[in-house]
C-alpha cells in the first residue's frame, strides 16, 4: 500500500488527548494501520510538530513525542529543489494563509505522488492529493 505524508496537526493530535482532533486522528491511524499504509513525516513537519510540543508541553513531552514518531513512522528530508518549489508555491497563493511547512508538504506530495493526511482544507485548494478514510 502507498504511504501517506502526515501533516503537523495530525501528528500533534495523536499525542495530545485534549486536542479537538484527538479521536479523529486516533481512529484514522487505526484505519491506516489496518490497511497496511505507513505514515511518513517530512523534516519540516517534524520541526514544526516538535516546536509545538516543546512550547506547549515542555521538553520531556517534546522528546517523548519525537521518540514515538521515530518508532511509528518513516522520516523524509526534502531536497533543495523542494524548498525552492515550496517558496514558489507560496508566492503563487499570496491570498492564502499557507505556512512554509504546508507548502513543503504540497510539493512533496506532488513530486512523490503521495497523499497528505491532514485536517486542513487548504491542501485541496492547492490541488494536493489528500488522504480520506
Phi, psi dihedrals of residue 16, rounded to the nearest 5°: -120, 100
Establish if 115 belongs to a structural domain: yes
Strand partners, 110: none
Establish if 131 belongs to a structural domain: no
Establish if 130 belongs to a structural domain: no
Going by C-alpha positions, the residue among 106, 100, 108, 131 that lies closest to residue 35 is 131
Q: How many other C-beta atoms are found inside a 10 Å radius of the C-beta of residue 13?
A: 22
Place of cell 494563509: 97
Which three cell numbers, joined as nine digits, stand for 129?
Answer: 492529493
Q: What is the pTM of this model?
A: 0.93
**Predicted local confidence at residue 72, as pLDDT:** 81
Residues 50-100 have pLDDT tens digits of 999 999 999 999 999 999 888 888 999 999 999 999 999 999 999 988 999
Q: How many other C-beta atoms are found inside a 10 Å radius of the C-beta of residue 118?
A: 22
Look at the chain and report how many structural domains it folds into. 1
CATH number for the domain harbouring residue 97 = 3.40.50.1010
Residues 13-58 have pLDDT tens digits of 999 999 999 999 999 999 999 999 999 999 999 999 999 999 999 9
Amino acid at each position: 500500500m502507498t504511504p501517506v505524508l502526515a501533516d503537523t496537526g495530525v501528528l500533534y493530535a495523536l499525542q495530545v488527548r485534549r486536542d479537538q482532533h484527538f479521536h479523529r486522528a486516533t481512529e484514522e491511524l487505526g484505519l491506516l494501520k489496518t490497511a497496511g499504509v505507513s505514515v511518513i513525516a517530512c523534516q519540516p513537519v517534524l520541526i514544526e510538530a516538535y516546536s509545538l510540543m516543546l512550547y506547549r508541553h515542555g521538553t520531556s513531552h517534546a522528546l517523548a513525542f519525537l521518540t514515538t514518531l521515530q518508532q511509528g513512522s518513516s522520516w523524509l528530508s526534502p531536497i533543495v529543489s523542494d524548498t525552492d518549489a515550496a517558496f514558489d508555491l507560496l508566492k503563487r497563493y499570496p491570498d492564502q494563509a499557507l505556512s512554509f511547512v504546508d507548502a513543503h508538504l504540497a510539493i512533496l506530495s506532488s513530486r512523490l505522488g503521495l497523499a497528505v493526511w491532514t485536517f486542513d482544507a487548504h491542501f485541496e485548494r492547492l490541488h494536493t492529493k489528500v488522504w480520506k478514510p
